[in-house]
């Protein structure tokens, strides 16, 4: 402990000094990390590249913005073969990020759970269990519900609620895509 | 305090002054992020960075810090390190950053860090302060990892020994395939007698249950040791 009592001016000077040093250190760190973040963002590519990489429309060779907010047109060469979108929907704990691909009749071609914050070990199976998301492929708008509700999607046992949110999210995203396209 | 050994100070931080089990500080991140081994470990590392940085800076500046405004200065120093670790995690460990979420910025108000700054670093030279920082951090990491492993195992039936994206468990098994065989054999024999994973363990109540049991064990061990000491000194208990 300092024995000498500082004057108000000294206290102000010291506080300012420490704050200035802190600011300088943080500025330097920001510069370095921002560079790395830019690199990460570049590696991930824009939404069209990300959709292509996830393979939600398996035959697509290129995604192009459909002009709307979230819908992207999927092309195989020059032919329009479907649509893809990636967005946040409500999950059980927090928002889920889902990517959904459909063909031109809005039959699902692929679903990917991009990120989720569901209960570890329980709800997070929606992301880890690929057999669950694989079920969506080939299902038309009528079948998009859990099998307990008369649909074609079997919920993961022990993660029924989260499975339900994924299914509802897929329906929601397809609805938005239809709206934007038509 | 000057004649205390470096190692001794570290061990004191782990056992006698264990921040979680003995001082019962910083429970908020302890309970919230220990749903798995990997999360607990990541949080522990982020905490260690801040704890060490803050202890060193406070100790270096202790003769310069005006006593009237010492708390704002501590907070300023701690904030700087927390913001640094937050930015570094976001850039270099995005997965971990995503999972720990709000609890990294919340290290700012972690009472262990400011507690050590006020109670220790502000009164001791740099060298012991570093020892104190290491000891307290190790005590914190041990608590997080213990809680995380127990909750992950009881709640999901598995433990993923993943250190910042590096899966240690998988690596060990790849090098010594025999270990996997033994583990599978043991699990195969035991599984009919093991209860199914209890979901409650990875939710909030599970955190309280686990920490209560661990604190009890820590207390029993501490009391035993003290009784032994007293008996040695000739008391009859």
pLDDT by residue, tens only, chain B of 237 residues = 445 688 888 888 888 888 888 888 888 888 888 888 888 888 899 999 999 999 999 999 988 888 888 888 999 999 999 999 999 988 888 888 887 877 888 888 888 899 889 988 988 899 999 999 999 999 999 998 888 888 888 887 777 776 666 666 677 777 777 777 777 777 777 777 766 777 778 778 888 988 999 999 988 988 888 888 888 888 776
- Quote the CA–CA distance of B129 and A159 in Å, as a whole number: 47
Of the candidates B87, B101, B122, the beta carbon closest to that of A1 is on B122
Q: Which residues contact A144 (CB under 8 A, 6 or more apart)?
A: A108, A136, A151, A152, A153, A167, A170, A171, A174
Q: Do A32 and B91 touch (CB under 8 A)?
A: yes
**How far is it between the farthest Cα atoms of chain B?**
65
Q: Do A121 and B156 touch (CB under 8 A)?
A: yes
Of the candidates A5, A11, A25, the beta carbon closest to that of B69 is on A11
pLDDT value, residue B80: 93
> Which 135-174 residues of chain B touch chain A by CB within 8 A?
152, 155-156
Q: Flag whether residue A93 sits within 8 Å of chain B, measured between CB atoms.
A: no
pLDDT value, residue A1: 46
Half-sphere exposure of A24 (CA within 13 A, CB side): 6
pLDDT value, residue B162: 67
**ipTM at complex level:** 0.71
Q: Do A33 and B87 touch (CB under 8 A)?
A: yes
pLDDT value, residue B158: 72
DSSP one-letter string for A101-139: EEETT--EEEEEEEE--PPTTTTTHHHH-HHHHHTTTT-
Of the candidates B66, B83, B203, the beta carbon closest to that of A26 is on B83
- Sign of the CA dihedral with A75 first, then A76, A78, and A82 last: negative
- Give contacts of B91 with chain A, Cβ < 8 Å: 32-34, 36-37, 40
Q: Could you say which residues of chain A have pLDDT below 70?
A: 1-6, 120-121
- Quote the CA–CA distance of B60 and B62 in Å, as a whole number: 6
pLDDT value, residue A19: 92
Residue from B31, B32, B34, B65 whose CB has the most chain A CBs within 10 Å, to mutate: B65
Q: Flag whether residue B199 sits within 8 Å of chain A, measured between CB atoms.
A: yes
Q: Do A1 and B203 touch (CB under 8 A)?
A: no
pLDDT value, residue B167: 67
Q: Flag whether residue A9 sits within 8 Å of chain B, measured between CB atoms.
A: no
pLDDT value, residue B163: 65
First to last CA, chain B: 32
Task: List pLDDT tens digits, range B119-174.
Answer: 889 888 999 999 999 999 999 999 988 888 888 888 877 777 766 666 666 777 77
Q: Flag whether residue A69 sits within 8 Å of chain B, measured between CB atoms.
A: no
- Give contacts of B202 with chain A, Cβ < 8 Å: 119-122
Q: Flag whether residue B93 sits within 8 Å of chain A, measured between CB atoms.
A: no
Give chain A's count of helices (H) and strands (E): 5, 5
């Amino acid at each position: 402990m300092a024995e000498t009592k500082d004057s108000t001016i000294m206290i102000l000077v010291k506080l300012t000094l420490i704050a200035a040093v802190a600011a300088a250190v943080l500025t330097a760190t920001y510069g370095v990390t921002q560079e790395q973040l830019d690199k990460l963002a570049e590696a991930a590519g824009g939404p069209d590249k990300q959709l292509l990489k996830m393979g939600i429309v398996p035959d697509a060779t290129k995604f192009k913005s459909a002009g709307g907010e979230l819908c992207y047109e999927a092309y195989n060469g020059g032919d329009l073969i479907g649509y893809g979108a990636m967005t946040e929907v409500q999950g059980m704990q927090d928002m889920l990020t889902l990517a959904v691909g459909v063909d031109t009749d809005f039959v699902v071609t692929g679903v990917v759970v991009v990120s989720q914050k569901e209960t570890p070990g329980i709800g997070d199976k929606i992301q880890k269990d690929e057999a669950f998301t694989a079920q969506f492929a080939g299902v038309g708008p009528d079948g998009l519900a859990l099998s307990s509700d008369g649909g074609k999607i079997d919920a993961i046992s022990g993660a029924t609620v989260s499975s339900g949110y994924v299914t509802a999210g897929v329906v929601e995203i397809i609805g938005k895509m239809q709206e934007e396209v038509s | 305090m000057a004649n205390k050994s470096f190692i001794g100070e570290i061990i004191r931080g782990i056992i006698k002054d264990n921040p979680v089990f003995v001082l019962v500080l910083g429970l908020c991140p302890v309970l919230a992020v220990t749903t798995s081994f990997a999360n607990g470990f990541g949080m522990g590392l982020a905490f260690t960075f801040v704890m060490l940085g803050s202890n060193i800076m406070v100790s270096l500046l202790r003769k310069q810090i005006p006593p009237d405004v010492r708390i704002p200065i501590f907070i300023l120093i701690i904030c700087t390190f927390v913001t640094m670790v937050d930015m570094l995690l976001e850039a270099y460990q995005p997965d971990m950053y995503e999972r720990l979420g709000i609890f990294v910025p919340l290290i700012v108000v972690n009472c262990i860090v400011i507690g050590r700054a006020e109670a220790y670093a502000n009164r001791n030279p740099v060298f012991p302060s570093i020892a104190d920082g290491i000891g307290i951090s190790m005590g914190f990491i041990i608590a997080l990892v213990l809680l995380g492993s127990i909750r992950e195992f009881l709640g999901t039936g598995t433990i993923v020994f993943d250190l910042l994206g590096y899966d240690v468990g998988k690596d060990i098994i790849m090098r010594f395939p025999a270990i996997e065989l033994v583990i599978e054999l043991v699990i195969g024999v035991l599984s009919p007698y093991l209860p199914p994973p209890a979901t409650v363990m990875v939710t909030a109540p599970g955190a309280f249950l686990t920490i209560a049991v661990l604190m009890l064990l820590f207390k029993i061990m501490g009391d035993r040791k003290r009784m032994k000491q007293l008996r040695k000194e000739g008391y009859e208990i």
